[in-house]
Structure 1
Amino acid sequence: MAREIITSARVTPMRSAVNHAVKAGGFVFVTGVTPFKGSERMKAEIAKGDLVAQIHQVMQNMQAILAEAGSSLDRAVKMNVALTDMTRYAEFDATFRTYFDEDNFPARQTTESARLAHPDFLVSIDCIAEA
């Protein structure tokens, strides 16, 4: 099975030993997308404390990565969401759903994570999409 490494120049480069995504077997496997805004790591911004702004940034980053792989959110089949505060689930869900047609939501699991990769992250989302 051939695999292709996917990176997007519109998304902050990864610091850890991961890529933005890997395309293989007819799918795109997107690493947990974070709410960094900007294409340069040392200049990247985070909307500190603003869950809705962070969700929008994560989804914009996700769209850029999927586009680079020749896919899109409407081809997403499974997403895993990590929230640092599950009491804000309704706020998350209301924002998340704006990125999909009502009859085309991906399968999704949402869990609470006490800490994410950066102390200011409130959300991170990974994705599997059709290529």
Structure 2
Amino acid sequence: MAHSIINSSKAPAPIGPYSQATLANGTLYVSGQIALDPENGQLLNESIEAETHQVMKNLSAILEEAGMGFEHVLKCSIFVKDLNNFGRINETYGSYFKSNPPARETVEVSRLPKDVNVEISCIASK
């Protein structure tokens, strides 16, 4: 199966051997994003809301590079370090989906890259 690699300069560069996203048969698979500022590589984690907003901005940049937006997202996976932050993450996350939110799961994990509090990946299709 042929696929294309999608990379956006408006999202942080991968910190390992993976692509920001791959596009195959009209479906976009976006790697997990954390709250790295793409301009300076710094973590934006002064609050869980600010961290979640930056994650969503990074996802948006990758979706845009593929000619898509949040309205094209079919499914998200949210990984959190502390499920007690779920309500605050959920409120921020939900503000990006005005109607017809995608399917998703939210999972508490013991540790995330760069010790962030939240990481989100998604699958989208036109």
TM range (shorter): over 0.9
- Are 1:113 and 2:109 an aligned pair? yes
Contact 1:33 1:125 in 2 (8 A): yes
2:121 corresponds to which of 118, 123, 126? 126
Shift of residue 47, structure 1, vs aligned partner? 2.3
1:2 alignment counterpart: 2
1:5-60 residue CA offsets vs partner (Å, 9 max, x unmatched): 00001111112010000000210000001110123xxx311123511001000000
1:72 alignment counterpart: 69
Amino acid at match of 1:15: I
Aligned residues: 126
Where does the alignment leave 5 or more consecutive residues of structure 2 unmatched? Answer: none
Amino acid at match of 1:13: A
1:54, 1:110 → 2: CA distance? 16
RMSD (Å), alpha carbons? 1.1
TM-score, length-scaled by structure 1: 0.91
TM-score, length-scaled by structure 2: 0.95
1:57, 1:5 → 2: CA distance? 22
2:12, 2:3 → 1: CA distance? 22
Instruction: Return structure 1 stretches of 4+ with deviation > 3 angstroms.
Output: none
